[in-house]
Amino acid sequence: MTHSTEKLKIFHVIDSGGLYGAEVVLLNLMLAQQALGLKPQLVSIGTPENETKPVERRAAALSLPVFPVRMSAGLNFVGACRLLRLSRGEEGPVLLHSHGYKGNILLGLLPMAWRRQPLVTTLHGWTWTGQLSRMMVYEWFDALSLRLIDHVVLVNEKMAEHPRLRVLPQARRSVICNGISPIESKCIESAIYPESIREFCQRRFTILGVGRLSKEKNFTSLVRVTAALVREDFDLQLILLGEGRGRDELTALAANEGIVDRVLMPGYVEDVGTCMADCRIFAMPSLTEGLPIALLEAMQAGIPIVATRVGGIPSALAEGECGLLVSSGDDEELKNAIFEIYRNPDAARTRAGLASRRVRENYSSNRMAQEYLDVYQRVLTGIRA
């Protein structure tokens, strides 16, 4: 195997459920890798009934190579062999880079004699639920695959404290923070931004939440806090950008709290950047996170931020210098932080300015791509514990 990274082809493997943080990070990385002279390619896994996925459409719009691969769900090792055949059809050095448990399991559990190409994985927000379910089986196989993958990349230092990750040899794991690309921001600016969203945001002081409508994002807390502030005669409202299984619960909660007219959930919106410009607070009440790209986008946009002390959030916000930090699951702390931004906008703007400078200096996609290249070079030269 050649050790040179000249014209290295990276097959980025992902089973995407939308265009959220991990997908945006991946596209940012691929664009920056192209600038370094590498040849990144998106291998998008899906089931036969899947039509073109959002990440595939966005990659094509950015002129990034896309290979949709459809296979039946589950532990489909025939499908894994199809992925290998796809990569083996390329000339020159090839490296496999998985983003998520599906790629980890399909490729990581294959014997190295079959796989042959080196395999790197990025854990964008790895958790272990420990709950008895079909997902627990996938989690178990995912944890097993990490012991067999050539190199594991974590997106924040806190992840390394997890018992199932701490056992990985230090020589085979790295921390690479997510990066945001100005190119991605320009691409978003060309997206369609519904006028109805702009009209809603311009009515009154608007709090913004971005992400899947799922339990770990804890948007129920944000709805309750918004309702509490409205009852105290604060003229504010809430918009949640994203889609997910929690929509019905959030809709019912807003109705029970009497703020249906103060909560808008328009679904997934590509033009998050423009929406941030129309809002007054970016709130991230998550119970668990890796290093969320939505947070970096909010920092770049210069919108005041309140977020929980989980995952890589405290480090990104310089332990509170660039945004207010609250305990996860604590509605009262979240309410007080939103009130602080509401009543003291000058201090909030100062923190937002520091956040904007910090993301430019420390969380660029160019820096991220160079750090990944360093990992690739270590793997290609066989540096393993």
Length of the chain (residues): 385
CA distance 129 to 281: 31
What is the C-alpha radius of gyration for the chain, rounded to an integer number of angstroms?
Answer: 21
pLDDT of residue 201: 94
**Which H, E and C letters describe the chain, residue by residue?**
CCCCCCCCEEEEEECCCCCCHHHHHHHHHHHHHHHCCCEEEEEEEECCCCCCCHHHHHHHHCCCCEEEEECCCCCCHHHHHHHHHHHHCCCCCEEEEEECHHHHHHHHCCCHHHHCCCEEEEECCCCCCCCCCHHHHHHHHHHHHHCCCCEEEECCHHHHHCHHHHCCCHHHEEECCCCECHHHHHHHHCCCCCHHHHHHHCCCEEEEEECCCCHHHCHHHHHHHHHHHHHCCCCEEEEEECCCCCHHHHHHHHHHCCCHHHEEEEECCCCHHHHHHHCCEEEECCCCCCCCHHHHHHHHHCCCEEEECCCCHHHHCHHHCCCEEECCCCHHHHHHHHHHHHHCHHHHHHHHHHHHHHHHHHCEHHHHHHHHHHHHHHHHCCCCC
CA distance 349 to 337: 14
Structure tokens at 226: 């918004």
pLDDT of residue 127: 58
Structural domains in the chain, CATH included, are 9-181+364-380 (3.40.50.2000), 193-362 (3.40.50.2000)
pLDDT of residue 268: 86
CA distance 88 to 158: 36
28 neighbors 365 (Cβ within 8 angstroms): yes
pLDDT of residue 183: 43
- Dump pLDDT digits (tens) for 161-213: 888 888 899 999 999 999 998 644 444 444 567 889 999 999 999 999 999 99
- Dump pLDDT digits (tens) for 18-37: 888 899 999 999 999 999 99
pTM here is 0.86
CA distance 375 to 361: 21
Give the CA-trace dihedral at 87, 91, 93, 97, to 10 degrees.
Answer: -20
CA distance 84 to 110: 10
CA distance 73 to 176: 30
Residues of the chain with confidence (pLDDT) below 70: 1-6, 89-90, 126-135, 182-192, 383-385
